[in-house]
Structure 1
Amino acid sequence: MSLPLSLPATGRRVLVSGASRGLGRAVARAFAANGDRVAVHFGSRREEAERTLDSLDGTGHALVGGDLADAAGAEHVAGRAADALGGIDVLVNNAAVNLRHPLPETSYEDWAALWQQHVAVNLLATANLSHLAGRRMIDQGSGGRIVNIGSRGAFRGEPDHPAYGATKAAVHALGQSLAVSLAPYGIGVASVAPGFFETERVADRLSGAEGEAIRAQSPFGRVADADEVAAAVLWLASPAAEWSSGAVLDLNGASYLRT
């Protein structure tokens, strides 16, 4: 199938999930600075999401709340975003949970509950939003982009966060499957696999001996800035990146090299 496609370089309608702070905020800012209109999604941190919204360049942005762990909630979020923006051209699946649960220290009750939570948010929400946004892109007939936020942990293992590592590996696989099925409609799908990057949530871990050890993982002797990851997401969502569809882009400062 060959379709006439007109995905613009700017002025796109972008939904960023989990954009109340951290990487999601950086991604929303990158798209807004590019001249795009952004739907800023939040789960429970409305005030922080409002700060994200207020920090965006340009006009026409929107705030969208909703629980992505629930299929109906994901449908509500996608619908609200499409209504506010007049459609969806780009989806960035950033929303995720990452809660500590090493097997030797975790009760079975907590283990089962935490696995369900990680699967619901990290994997099923990504799949559901991808379907909802992807169908809109198909109906719009002008192509589109889906960029998933994965993780280095999908490859190197996460002994203290096994459900996080496993669900991020599944997100990478999902993205590659969708890249094949959506390419005939001019929709590119790719993932980024960041290593450690600095956000408010992990700031305490970057002090003292733990911080030194984390920075030493990379031969650059530092961790990434969220803006560096956001810049890669922005490029993968661009018209120039169509041939990168299906890729999983490592962003870890050579701290982990896949073979």
Structure 2
Amino acid sequence: MQQQNVIIVGGASGLGLTTAKLMVERGASKVGLIDRNAELLASSSEVLRAMGAEVATAVADIARAETAHRGFAEIADRLGRINTLVNSAAIYPRRPILEISDEEWDLENAINIKGTYHMMVAAVRHMRGFVNRPEVTGRIVNVTSVDAFKAHPQNAHYAATKAAVVSLTKSFAQECAADGILVNSVAPAGFATDRAKELGFLPELAKASALGRAAEPVEMAEWIVMMASSRNTYATGENVVISGGYIYV
């Protein structure tokens, strides 16, 4: 990640922040964070600045194209050329299939699908501005989920959105390859976030995994950083499942 300028959507907490910190440790010098929580953005940016990074933040509603693109542009104006976009923002509700309302479907689709799409469009438009400069390439990494491939109770709408993001990843990879923009996704199984601990499914996941444990967030972040880094020179349109042997796709 040496000299990479990155934007992480959903970067104020959770896997997004873990990824941001790991990227800074690996040499990313400029980091942009986009999130809807201004208070978390402020505290997270101070953590990254203390690690030596230049940080820019934007509060944005990524479900709307105008505000999503404005957030990306605000950060690019401050940091300059953006090499890498990581889409880590998502909502994870739980609801039996017969009880999911239209409002819940709309919100889930708006954040997890449309929000990811809007940020990818903003990144591609920006990165295409550096075409024909061989030293410049772009990387987009979307965070999906094993739920896109394996059914679990009470999250049909979440799983459907993550399957859609896998499809979006492949479509963007096809259309952006000629521009030197590599687009991939990483699909984690459940890992030890505060939210996962609260929901209580980690012990069951650990029993069902070949490794017999749930992952730590940094173990997922390692794969995001790998796909986003200059070490990735050939993978595009790929979805990497990281599940500790919970699922084989």
- TM-score over 0.5 for the pair: yes
Q: Distance in 2 between matches of 1:13 and 1:28?
A: 11
Deviations 1:113-136 (A, max 9, x none): 111111110011111111111111
Give the corresponding residue for 1:63: 57
In structure 2, runs of 5+ residues without a counterpart are none
Q: Is the 8 A contact 2:97 2:155 kept in 1?
A: no
Give the corresponding residue for 1:38: 31
Does residue 227 (structure 1) correspond to residue 218 (structure 2)? The answer is yes
CA shift for structure 1 position 46? 2.1
Q: Distance in 1 between matches of 2:195 and 2:147?
A: 17
Give the corresponding residue for 1:85: 79
1:205-224 equivalent positions in 2, closer than 5 A: 205-206=199-200, 210-224=201-215
SS in 1 for 2:54: coil
Q: Distance in 2 between matches of 1:131 and 1:204?
A: 34
Cα RMSD (Å) of the superposition? 1.4
Give the corresponding residue for 2:247: 256
CA shift for structure 1 position 34? 1.7
Give the corresponding residue for 1:126: 116
CA shift for structure 1 position 98? 1.0
Q: Is the 8 A contact 2:96 2:154 kept in 1?
A: yes
Q: Distance in 1 between matches of 2:173 and 2:4?
A: 20
Q: TM-score, normalised by structure 1?
A: 0.89
Q: Distance in 2 between matches of 1:211 and 1:186?
A: 39
Give the corresponding residue for 2:107: 117
One-letter identity of the residue aligned with 2:217: A
CA shift for structure 1 position 49? 2.2
CA shift for structure 1 position 224? 0.8
Q: Is the 8 A contact 1:101 1:111 kept in 2?
A: no
Give the corresponding residue for 2:140: 146
1:93-242 equivalent positions in 2, closer than 5 A: 93-104=87-98, 106=99, 111-141=101-131, 142-206=136-200, 210-242=201-233
Q: TM-score, normalised by structure 2?
A: 0.93
Q: Distance in 1 between matches of 2:202 and 2:140?
A: 33
Q: Is the 8 A contact 1:69 1:125 kept in 2?
A: yes
Matched residue pairs, number? 242
Deviations 1:48-107 (A, max 9, x none): 222221222223111211111122111111111211211211000111111112123x1x
Aligned-residue identity in percent: 31
Runs (4+) of structure 1 moved beyond 4 Å?
none
